[in-house]
A and B are shown apart, each in its own frame.
Chain A
Amino acid sequence: MIEVKDLVRQFKSGDRTIKPVNGVSFELGKGQLASIVGKSGSGKSTLLSLLGALDKPTSGDVVVDGVSLAGLPDGKLTEYRRRDIGFVFQQFNLIPNLSAVDNVMLPMEFADVRKSARAQRAKELLEQVQLDPEKHSRRTNRLSGGEQQRVAIARALANEPKLILADEPTGNLDEQTGEHIIELLSSLSRDHDTTILVVTHDRGLARKADRRFRLHQGQLNEDVTAGR
């Protein structure tokens, strides 16, 4: 489903260049749930941004369902992000002056989903991530970190993407809510054939993963000791 070929992303900081992603290659099949661990600053977020077409690699390519991102113009990359990708940001990145529902409806608006359908689906998604119904219409800058994180997850699911890229999606959640989110993600991969790549240090989540990766010094290595 997604095929990563010798991906490199380098940054210049001062007079030296750093390569948080330095020759990463892997493949994920449809419906697979994969986890990535790695030290802080090892390049996990950088790798996800390349897979989600937020950023362009220095070299290498990402091929999604046979289409190479390297060859796509900006307009097509926008369409790819809108239709195929659900991104859960490490810092949530909700629009602060919009309500939770409005935030979840945004990707649907960009995808030209009918207004009534948008509101209905946004409500269902917020219920799935267990956001208190009375907070659905609250502005997101007045929600707690964990609440914002769940709104961010709901937003990522809005357009039923085929690839979900989640950066520490349970980092701000208590154990119980975290487990619920983990269950939600794994059921998506199991029942809806959604491919999911999660950056996480949560052992529960890692245990549920079909594939486990570790990013170290720009290289991605698969941990093949145990399966699901």
Chain B
Amino acid sequence: MSVLARSVGNAFRNKIRTAAVVAVLAVAIGLALSMLVANQAVGAKVQELNASVGTTLTVNPAGGQGFEGGGEPLTAAEAATAAAVPNITSVVGTKALRLRTETTTTDTADAAAGAAQPDAGGPGGQAASVTTSLTAAVDAGTLGNRNNTGSGTGTGTTNGTEPARTFTLPITATGTAAEVDSSGKALDITSGTGLGDYSAASTKALVGTTLAEKNNLKVGSTFTIAGKTYTVAGIFDAGTTFGNNAVYLTLAEAQALAETPGELSSMVVTVNSMENVDSTKTALQAALGASKADVTQGQRNLETAVSSLNSVKGISLVAYIAALATAGLIILLIMVMLVRERRREIGVLKAIGARNRTIGLQFVLEALVLVALGSVVGAAIASFASGGIASALVSSNSSTAAGATGQRGPGGGPGGPFGGATQLLTSVTASASPGVIAAGIAAVFAVAIIGALVPALLTARIRPIEVLRGE
């Protein structure tokens, strides 16, 4: 019989009470572990989001984001100015083009209609429109057709002559000075190679997966833009249907096609670290001048998503600490009760020569036996509940977050203003990883030891003469 064996025995002395104590402890511990898991999961998601927003800023011509925008185009001079701002590691200029599918019949009326719609050239009117042999991989759909006829009505003159004209969505061609997309993310080239030297004019092109499929293009295939033949050097996957309905050219090539050499439709600026993004954004805006350029940070809705996730992280941390403290308090109260109940027995142990620390240790170990049982059941509860708890926390919080996010430009994006944020938030998956659970249980034990130490110290004050007192 050792102290430990005695402690284990004592923990089961009153089985019904032990079961009740373990159940209550399990709930507290399970809650604590769930909150810890949720906290970790949300923390990981925040990090992931921060990494994906990354350290890039986008520079557009002033007012260039709306449909009614004007202003002066960006040039190489602005790129040089931007590159000189502290903390900026790279500046990548891009030039966007809209590619229209060549009509097979040489219908001059249609061609004229296309040319007569410069404002269909997209935001800021800065994307020049040229023809291509490619067919868009995305159907215009109801919205596309409605948008198109809408703008046709605006021009007025040719409206009545073509009531049944179907419209194909344009294909985006982007001239880029580096192998990145328009948000600064590296392109994911799934077959073939990149364009090599992105600063020189070249007849090589990168084509999105769906666009390549639609047009039966493989690495080495050719197609035309504005009558000029281009070779597919590589096929990339942007992850979205719209993103894959695109072509990348070198910057100089796109500028030549648009007949606007030296002009940029936007610049992607990379900042050296997350912490410097905000200050650099301000500095860059000041350097370029508010009348000349707009500096924006990545996907803006991510900011609200991140901040709402951060508040979920805060809530789960507080709940974790509270649940942990509750477990400690339960242990404290139970052990105080046990010590009072066993006063006489503690007196006996002292009367036959037990040291205070032996008795204290015995009670701490007994508390740990209860906590160990509570932890086993609690961990089981947590592995069941943590996913649900995390998503409940996140979705209750995202309803407010989504409301705040609904300030995107007119036309929205795929999924609409609400879809984006909610998808982002519910994609937090909380799985109880063994490492986190182990760390959580270690913390529970630490708290339990503190909780049990108080009553254990109380046993030191019980005098051996208690043994002669009646029950």
Which residues on A are within 8 Å of B, measured CB to CB?
A: 45, 49, 52-55, 74-75, 78-79, 81-83, 85, 87, 89, 93-95, 97-98, 102, 105-107, 109-111, 155, 159
Q: Is the CB of B351 within 8 A of A79?
A: no
Of A78, A85, A95, A155, which is within 8 A of B350 by CB? A78
Bound CA–CA A110/B2 (angstroms): 10
Q: How far is the CB of A187 from chain B (nearest CB, A)?
A: 23
Given contacts A49-B468, A54-B351, A55-B464, list 5 more A-B pairs with CB under 8 A.
Answer: A55-B468, A95-B345, A97-B9, A106-B352, A110-B355
List, sorted by A's number, 10 A–B pairs whose CB atoms are closer than 8 Å: A54-B465, A55-B463, A81-B464, A82-B352, A89-B348, A89-B467, A105-B1, A106-B354, A110-B353, A155-B352
Q: Which of B3, B358, B463, B467 contacts A93 (CB 8 A)?
A: B467
Report Cα–Cα, A93/B344, bound state, in Å. 9
CA distance A45 to B470 in the complex (A): 13
| A101, closest chain B residue (CB) | B1
Q: When the two chains form their complex, are residues B354 and A110 in contact, meaning their CB atoms are under 8 A apart?
A: yes
List residues of B (61-78) whose CB comes within 8 Å of A's CBs. none
Question: Quick one: which of B3, B345, B348 has the most chain A CB within 10 A?
Answer: B348
Complex contacts, A97 vs chain B, CB 8 Å: 9-10, 13
Give the distance to chain A from B468, nearest Cβ to Cβ, in Å.
6
Give the contacts of B331-374 with A (CB-CB under 8 A).
344-345, 348-356, 358
Query: Cβ of B352 and Cβ of A81 under 8 Å apart?
Result: yes
Partner of A81, one of B1, B344, B351: B351
* Cα separation A106 to B13 with both chains bound (whole Å): 18
Within 8 A of A (CB), among B1-15: 1-3, 6, 9-10, 13
How long is the Cα–Cα vector from A87 to B1 in the complex, in angstroms?
21
Tell me which of A87, A107, A109, A159 contacts B2 (CB under 8 A).
Answer: A109
Contact A54 B353 (CB under 8 A): no
Size band of the interface chain B makes with A: 20 to 34
Contact A78 B9 (CB under 8 A): no
Whole-angstrom CA separation of A85 from B1 in the bound complex:
22
Instruction: Give B219-268 interface residues, CB cut-off 8 Å to A.
Output: none
Chain B residues with a Cβ under 8 A of chain A:
1-3, 6, 9-10, 13, 344-345, 348-356, 358, 463-465, 467-468
B347 to chain A, nearest CB (A): 8
B1 A159 Cβ-Cβ under 8 A: no
CA distance A176 to B468 in the complex (A): 28
Closest residue of chain B to A111 (Cβ to Cβ) is: B353
Give, as a whole number of angstroms, the nearest-CB distance from A176 to chain B: 28
Chain B proximity of A180: nearest CB distance (Å):
23
Instruction: Enumerate chain B residues within 8 angstroms of A106, measured Cβ to Cβ.
Output: 1, 349, 352, 354
| A82 lies within 8 A of B353 (CB) | yes
In the complex formed, the residue of B with least CB distance to A50 is B465
Give every chain A residue within 8 A of B354 (Cβ-Cβ).
78, 82, 106, 110
Identify the 7 closest CB pairs spanning chains A and B, nearest first.
A82-B353, A55-B465, A54-B464, A102-B1, A93-B348, A110-B353, A81-B353
Residue of chain A at shortest CB distance from B466: A54
B353 touches A78 (CB 8 A): yes
Residues in B neighbouring A82, C-beta threshold 8 A: 352-354
Given A45-B468, A49-B468, CB of A93 within 8 Å of CB of B351:
yes
Q: How far is the CB of A38 from chain B (nearest CB, A)?
A: 16
- Please measure, in the bound complex, the distance between the C-alpha atom of A107 and the C-alpha atom of B1, giving whole angstroms: 11
Please indicate the chain A residues that have their CB under 8 angstroms from the CB of B9 in the complex.
97-98
Q: Most chain-A CB neighbours within 10 Å: which of B1, B2, B358? A: B1
With a CB–CB cut-off of 8 A, which chain B residues contact A93?
344, 348, 351, 467
Report yes or no: A87 in contact with B13, Cβ–Cβ below 8 A: no
B465 engages A83 (CB within 8 Å): no
Q: How far is the CA of A85 from the CA of B10 in the complex (A)?
A: 27
A109 to B3, CA, bound (A): 9
Complex CA gap A80/B221 in Å reads 99
| Residue on B nearest A82 in the bound complex, by CB | B353
* Docked-complex contact B1 and A78, CB < 8 angstroms: no
- Interface pair B1/A98, CB less than 8 Å apart: yes
The answer to whether A54 and B1 touch across the interface, beta carbons within 8 angstroms, is no
Greatest chain A CB density within 10 A among B2, B9, B350, B352 is at B352
- Contact across chains for A98 and B6 when beta carbons are under 8 A apart: yes
Closest to A97 in B: B13
CB distance from B360 to the nearest CB of A (A): 13
